[in-house]
Structure 1
Amino acid sequence: MDRAVLRDDMVDSLEHEAKGWINTESVSLAMRSVPRHEFVPDEQRAYADCSFEQFGTRVLAPSTAARLVEALDPTPDDSVLIVGVGVGYTAAVVAEIVGDQNVQAIDITRRLVWEARNNLARAGYNGVLVDRHDGSDGLPAYAPYDRILLEAAAIEPPQTLLRQLGASGHLVMPLGASTQRLVSVSKDGTTVDEFGRVAFSPMLVDGEQVDTVERNRTVREDREFAARESEGRHGWEQHWIDWTHGQKH
């Protein structure tokens, strides 16, 4: 079947009231234009609404990519940073809306940076800059941004990314640990909108890789797990309780 027909069928299904993931014309047109098969070599998967693992990362289902871009709400000529570019498909959809010269993308994994660059170039989005950086550092050389999309979960909005937003810019990200919700956050860290439950892998920090046997937790997660462990201890394990005199230090 013609690939353009497959794209139209995919977008039609995402616009249908049974799903309703696409609500704006700009996102609809962008997803009808981006050749998803250039990012997903298996054509049976390219236009199916499913996610799967590739090169140690999760390739987002088209419905999830649509949710992210709808939440991001980019407009033509916006400056956009994609954190966690993966195979590059979401960056291409955003580039279709704002222009590829206005999109920068980063990933912590060199293999994915290489893959995304090749995929974007093959799909016709040569102007998208893709570089290898720790996601929590962002890309300050190109700041300020009108929109930042974080394609990984964090317990709180990374302050470095918030500082790279313009005055009226928004950061869209999965917020939380075991329970996550997709949110849009303003420059001052205020949640301005929510878009329902999601499930993303945690954002990695420098020294961590997606293709290791066991992924390390992020710094933010380490703090949360430490706090949970402390609060969950029995009284006799708490060194700050003086059991002899019945007092807390």
Structure 2
Amino acid sequence: MEPAVLRDDMVDSLEHESKGCVHSDAISVAMRAVPRHEFVEDDRAAYADRPLERFGTRVLSPSTAARLLEALAPSEGDNVLVVGAGVGYTAAVVAEIVGDRNVQAIDITRRLVYEARENLANAGYEGVLVDCRDGIDGLPEYAPYDCILLEAAAIEPPRALVDQLADDGRLIMPLGAHEQSLVVVEDGDVAERLGGVAFQPMLVEGEQADTVERNRTRREDREHARRDAERRRGWQQDWIDWDEQV
């Protein structure tokens, strides 16, 4: 079946009352235009409404991506930052609405940055800038932003991202740890809660999604070191001054 037909079927299902993820004409038209199969390795799974994995990160299902995009509500000409670019699909949908040169995207994992750049170029959105950055720092060189989309969970809105918003700008993000809500942040405060979500936590420098260390972050390494020190006995306690013990 032709990809355009599959895209129409996908968006039709997202608009149906059973899912109700797509409400606006802008998001509907954009998702029908973006060739999702350019961002997903398995062409057969590209238009199925389920998440996938790529280089250690989760590729959002179409329904989850639609929820984020509807909350972001970008308009033509907006300057938009996508934090956690992943494979680049959500950045492409935003670019379809605001123009590809008005979209910047960052990801902490260099391999995903290369992947997103290639995918966006293949899909026709080569004007989107994708850079390897720590998401918590944002991309101040292109600020202020009318919209910022954070595709990872944090327990509070990152200060740098809030500071990079335009005066009437908004940040869309999953807020919380074990229990998360999709929220709209305006003027530094949560202005609206849009229901529960489940996202991976925001990574910081030293925490890469595509390495064997993915599940052993810096914070976890410190905790493991502390516990290991507490378990040591006798000669293993290298902090003991043995000369004083004689």
> What range is the shorter-chain TM-score in?
0.7 to 0.9
Q: Return the letter of the residue paired with 1:48.
A: A
> Could you tell me how far 1:218 is from its partner in structure 2?
8.2
Which whole-Å CA distance do the structure 2 matches of 1:33 and 1:161 have between them? 29
Q: Work out the percentage of aligned pairs sharing the same amino acid.
A: 68
> Could you tell me how far 1:41 is from its partner in structure 2?
2.2
Instruction: Give the 3-state SS of the residue equivalent to 1:50 in structure 2.
Output: coil
After superposition, the C-alpha distances for 1:147-203 in whole angstroms (9 at most, x for unaligned) are: 00000000000001000000000000000001000001013x211111111000000
Instruction: Give the 3-state SS of the residue equivalent to 1:22 in structure 2.
Output: coil
Which stretch shifts more, 193-202 or 138-147? 193-202
Is the 1:78–1:147 contact (alpha carbons within 8 Å) kept by the matching residues of 2?
A: yes
Instruction: Give the 3-state SS of the residue equivalent to 2:119 in structure 1.
Output: helix
Paired residue for 1:246? none
Instruction: Give the 3-state SS of the residue equivalent to 2:104 in structure 1.
Output: strand
Paired residue for 1:204? 203
Which whole-Å CA distance do the structure 1 matches of 2:77 and 2:205 have between them? 31
> Could you tell me how far 1:207 is from its partner in structure 2?
1.1
**Normalised TM-score (structure 2):** 0.87
Paired residue for 1:87? 87
Paired residue for 1:170? 170
Which whole-Å CA distance do the structure 2 matches of 1:44 and 1:124 have between them? 21
Paired residue for 2:57? 57
Paired residue for 1:141? 141
Instruction: Give the 3-state SS of the residue equivalent to 1:114 in structure 2.
Output: helix
Which whole-Å CA distance do the structure 1 matches of 2:211 and 2:156 have between them? 25
2:161 is aligned with 1:150: no
**Normalised TM-score (structure 1):** 0.86
Structure 2 gap segments, 5+ residues each: 224-246
Paired residue for 1:97? 97
After superposition, the C-alpha distances for 1:26-51 in whole angstroms (9 at most, x for unaligned) are: 00000000000000121121000000
Paired residue for 1:195? 194
Which whole-Å CA distance do the structure 2 matches of 1:199 and 1:218 have between them? 22
How many residues in Structure 1 have an aligned counterpart in Structure 2? 221
Is the 1:24–1:70 contact (alpha carbons within 8 Å) kept by the matching residues of 2?
A: yes
Paired residue for 2:242? none
For residues 14-163 of structure 1, the aligned pairs below 5 Å read: 14-163=14-163
> Could you tell me how far 1:217 is from its partner in structure 2?
5.5
Q: Return the letter of the residue paired with 2:192.
A: D
Structure 1 gap segments, 5+ residues each: 226-249
Instruction: Give the 3-state SS of the residue equivalent to 1:197 in structure 2.
Output: strand
Which whole-Å CA distance do the structure 1 matches of 2:168 and 2:47 have between them? 35
Which stretch shifts more, 207-216 or 19-28? 207-216
Specify whether residues 50 and 218 from structure 1 end up closer, same or farther in structure 2 by C-alpha distance, changes over 3 A only. farther
After superposition, the C-alpha distances for 1:111-158 in whole angstroms (9 at most, x for unaligned) are: 000000000000000110000000000000000000000000000000
